[in-house]
A and B are shown apart, each in its own frame.
Chain A
Amino acid sequence: MNTPYTPGIAAARLDRDTLSENFDDLHAPLKSHEAMVAADRCYFCHDAPCVTACPTDIDIPLFIRQIATGTAEAAAKTIFDMNILGGMCARVCPTEDLCEQACVRELAEGKPVEIGRLQRFATDTVMAKGVMPYTRAPASGHKVAVVGAGPAGLACAHRLAMLGHDVTVYDARPKAGGLNEYGIAAYKSTDDFAAREVEWLCSIGGIEIKNNMALGAELKIDDLVGCFPAVFLAVGLGGVNALSVYGDDKGGVEDAVSFIDVLRQAENLTTLPVGRNVVVIGGGMTAVDAAVQSKLLGADNVTIAYRRGRDAMSASRYEQDLAASHGVKLLFNVMPKAIHGNGSAAEVELEYTATKDGKLSSTGEAIRLPADQVFRAIGQTLTADAGLKLEGRKIAVTAAGRTSRAQVWAGGDCAAGGNDLTVTAVAEGRDAAMDIHDVLMGGK
């Protein structure tokens, strides 16, 4: 068996039991009594700041009070009314930057009401029973295509199905779920939660998922528009930004998203190779997810190298601390200059940076870190723009998700204006569904 000190990239650095413990739920679900105690802390604020901070506008004080009064099912309904992926969002939302940051008890005591965990308590209660609390409206006779079965696409599909429309969801991957299935850390979605959530969501009926159908390959936007009166694009960001430095093509230099993807789909974590010395380039959630999971797989040294300061990092302070608590080293104000090694990466050369007049530049000071494995996590790009008007590098949309082309809406990470959060994608999918519904029913 290998150990964390085994040189190079190797599998089975830790035994199976340790790995399975490492990748267990990041936060254990609240037990009933814990939920009561946690719920009791909510003040039922008027026009509550937590609701304002929630991209899906869940009525948080109401659902927490419903938990407090012993009706977790009613609480779940309050959540799902606004966010049908409330179960996943309870697991992956950066609540420390959203609802819990806004909580008045965070202001008062530095200890917010545990909104995320309470949301999970309520949604788990309903999903464990296999109950879909919504029924479909009478059939409208309309068919809608949704491209992409990630959070935005699924939220859109569910809302449309509920409103009586028949929805065909196309997805490029063999499984539905998008980033929920392929793109987030395993310890945030244990026990195949993403797949179970998709199955539960689709139990409303009227949603057909067709896998292995990618826009630009098997699917053409013109064909879709020809067949469906409305098309919702939620294709995410298919491409990964390159490092554009010397050595980027060396062995051991990989996309962080691919690493996470493989890890999420792995049947047996002992078969997954990871470097002894891992360097992750980037500062977002993907960087943290890749770094922490490398560490959990048994990497000896893991470093996140970010080109700006801590405050500019898009991963929250909570995520940064999570990484640090797992032994990941956070290196700030460094950017990659080169990756050295004979065929495969052995060292990464970083240069210190400074910001002058808002512009980032190298100070000329360089350091080298041992690196068998280097992960690129410096952002993703839209690969299937379908010929639509762009804003920046994403599809331009109105507030209701309309694109430059009639009959075509877009939302989630592929659309401009969002913040690449699951919860925001859900809100965009839901709102686009409402607009599509209005258009189909002749309202607007």
Chain B
Amino acid sequence: MADLTTDFLGIKSPNPFWLASAPPTDKEYNVRRAFEAGWGGVVWKTLGMEGPPVVNVNGPRYGVIYGKDRTVLGINNIELITDRDLHTNLEEIKRVKADYPDRAIIVSLMVPCEEQAWKDILPMVEDTGADGIELNFGCPHGMSERGMGAAVGQVPEYIEMVTRWCKQYYSKPVIVKLTPNITDVRKPAAAAKRGGADAVSLINTINSITSVNLDTMSPEPSIDGKGTHGGYCGPAVKPIAMSMVSEIARAPETAGLPISGIGGVTTWRDAAEYITLGCGNVQVCTAAMTYGFKIVQEMISGLSQWMDEKGHTSIQDFMGQAIPNTTDWQYLNLNYVAKAVINQDDCISCGRCYAACEDTSHQAISMSPDRVFEVIDAECVACNLCVDVCPVEDCITMVAMEPGSVDPRTGKTVQKEYANWTTHPNNPSATAAE
């Protein structure tokens, strides 16, 4: 059976599934339950500086976006960092780490951008025996108004500066957690690397308002009639997070920098996808908050089964395998031609493909009086919308045309050779092929 053991920055864990710094990792009780349930590691909920702890709102902290049947697709939150005493947290971390030496415990930190503040807290964290720290430069609400969290993560110079302090005053791995609330995630990642970060983790939550109460005219979650933006997470954010992960994995200045993938990991497949994009492990929060810690059992069994089926014996075997296939649009093969094919045996005649194509695409599907839907190859641009909206899996597929055959839409012969936009005759700045 596949070995799920993960070595991330020299930190070993029995599987790549860590709980992200969030409410599920706020205290000893939860973390012990998590480890008993099988989680490979946790990033302890963010600790702040010594002194009076932060206070949280006393009303709803979470908003939600549902799919059909109230499936939780996304949650946003306006909770702050831990509101428990620093020393209580540190003592608990030390105790739990001692009892679970085979599991990873990372301590998330957020203190002001002053050297002394970091100099003060890091030795205390070091003393817990935790395996590393994660710098919370991503929290988008509350703390960012106080010059911390995302306020730091949006300024690459600050990231670099604080990371350097941490490497100076702390001996173990330093992971920098990045905010997605920024235009180009490669910049903060590169800054973290320059500061000496051992890894980056991403994404933190996305600025969001999940809904507006139309009776009270207040955004949700609403506190006494007022709401504020919260941090969005869960399955809905996964595509955004994976794109950002891939950007960092591909960029020359950050390529090879270890990444802990975060954002909507709910099943084994999500985790596998993140790992193929270069992540050394994944962090999970919303899935645990939705289904409980037991959800990790499916992640473990599923990843293990898939690895066995593919012949992967360790996480390393497939880590980063999708990076070489992630490229810029301009390098996509414009000589590749596909057409939609509807399997009439599987078709249930709902007509969704027809509506989508006829109204919003290329009028490439015909409909007969007795509800038979067929692709018109002469119109089909292979946009894939019909596949996307078809309720029956694999009923509509995209089939590549053989080189040498003639595309009835363009009348041109399908070429075998790869050719992209950089050499395309329509491109004013195309470079000559010869």
A-side residues, CB < 8 A to B, are: 32-33, 36, 40-41, 44, 46, 61-62, 65-66, 69-71, 73-74, 77-78
| B297 at interface, CB cutoff 8 A | yes
Whether, in the assembled complex, B227 has its beta carbon less than 8 Å from a beta carbon of chain A, the answer is: no
Bound form: Cα–Cα A44–B291 in Å: 6
Residues of B within 8 A of A69 (CB): 267-269, 298, 302
A63 CB to nearest chain B CB (Å): 9
Q: A71 and B305: CB pair below 8 A?
A: yes
- Whether the Cβ atoms of A41 and B302 lie closer than 8 Å is no
Give every chain A residue within 8 A of B69 (Cβ-Cβ).
40-41
B376, chain A: closest CB distance, angstroms: 26
Is there a chain A Cβ closer than 8 Å to B393's Cβ? yes
* A61 vs B294: C-alpha distance when bound (angstroms): 10
Contact (Cβ within 8 A) A71 B392: no
Residues of A within 8 A of B393 (CB): 32-33, 36
- Asked if B301 is at the interface of the complex by the 8 Å CB criterion, the answer is yes
Interface residues as binary, B289-303 with A (CB distance below 8 Å gives 1, 0 otherwise): 001101101100110
Interchain CB contact under 8 A, B392 and A66? no
The residue that A66 contacts in the complex, of B291, B292, B294, B298, with Cβ under 8 A, is B298
Instruction: Tell me the interface secondary structure of chain A in the complex.
Output: helix
The answer to whether B305 and A65 touch across the interface, beta carbons within 8 angstroms, is no
In order of increasing CB-CB distance, the 3 nearest A-B pairs are: A74-B301, A69-B267, A71-B302
A73 to B302, CA, bound (A): 9
- Contacts A36-B393, A70-B269 hold; do A44 and B302 have CB atoms under 8 A apart? no
Known contacts A46-B292, A70-B269; is-contact A77 B301 (Cβ 8 Å): yes
Chain B CB count within 10 A is highest, among A41, A61, A65, A66, for: A65
- Rounded to whole angstroms, the CA-CA distance of A74 and B309 in the bound complex is 12
Instruction: Report the minimal beta-carbon distance from B374 to chain A, rounded to whole angstroms.
Output: 22
Residues of chain A contacted by B294 (CB below 8 angstroms): 44, 46, 61-62
Q: List 10 A-B contacts (CB under 8 A).
A: A36-B393, A44-B292, A44-B295, A61-B294, A62-B297, A66-B298, A69-B267, A69-B268, A69-B298, A74-B305
Q: Given the known A-B contacts A33-B393, A40-B69, are A66 and B295 also in contact in the complex, defined by CB atoms under 8 Å? A: no
Q: In this assembly, does B306 line the interface, its C-beta being within 8 Å of a C-beta of chain A?
A: yes
Contacts of B298 in A (CB 8 A): 62, 65-66, 69, 71, 74
In Å, the complex CA distance between A41 and B71 comes to: 9
CB pair B291 A71 closer than 8 Å: no
State how many angstroms separate the Cβ of A158 from the closest Cβ of chain B. Answer: 20
Residues of chain B within 8 A (CB-CB) of A46 are 292, 294
- Knowing A33-B392, A36-B393, say if A71 contacts B268 (CB, 8 Å): yes
| Contacting residues, chain A, for B302 (C-beta < 8 A) | 66, 69-71, 74
Among B291, B294, B301, B302, the one with the most A-chain Cβ atoms within 10 Å of its Cβ is B301
CA distance in complex: A40, B71 (Å): 9
Nearest neighbor of B293 in chain A, beta-carbon distance: A46
A381 to B393, CA, bound (A): 52
> In the complex, which residues of chain B have a beta carbon less than 8 angstroms from the beta carbon of A44?
291-292, 294-295
**Chain A residue with the shortest CB-CB distance to B268:** A69
Residues of B within 8 A of A65 (CB): 295, 298
Contacts of B392 in A (CB 8 A): 33
In angstroms, how far is the closest chain A Cβ from the Cβ of B377?
A: 27
Docked complex Cα distance between A77 and B267 (Å):
18
The distance from the CB of B76 to the nearest CB of chain A, in whole angstroms, is: 22
CA distance in complex: A46, B304 (Å): 24
Interface-central residue, B298, B301, B306, by most chain A CB under 10 Å:
B298
The residue in chain B whose Cβ has the minimal distance to the Cβ of A48 is B294
Hey, which chain A residues are within 8 Å of B295, CB to CB? Answer: 44, 65
Complex Cα–Cα for A71 and B294 (A): 17
Contacts of B71 on A, CB cut-off 8 Å?
40
CA A367 – CA B70 in complex, angstroms?
Answer: 55
Please give, as numbers and ranges, the residues of chain B lying within 8 Å of A71 by CB-CB distance.
Answer: 268, 298, 301-302, 305-306
**Nearest CB in chain A: distance from B82 CB, A:** 25
Bound state CA distance, A78 and B301, in angstroms? 10
| A73→B297 contact, CB < 8 A | no
For the A-B complex with A33-B393, A62-B294, A71-B298 known, give 14 more contacts whose Cβ atoms are closer than 8 Å: A33-B392, A36-B393, A41-B69, A44-B291, A44-B292, A44-B294, A62-B298, A69-B268, A71-B268, A71-B306, A73-B305, A74-B301, A74-B302, A74-B305
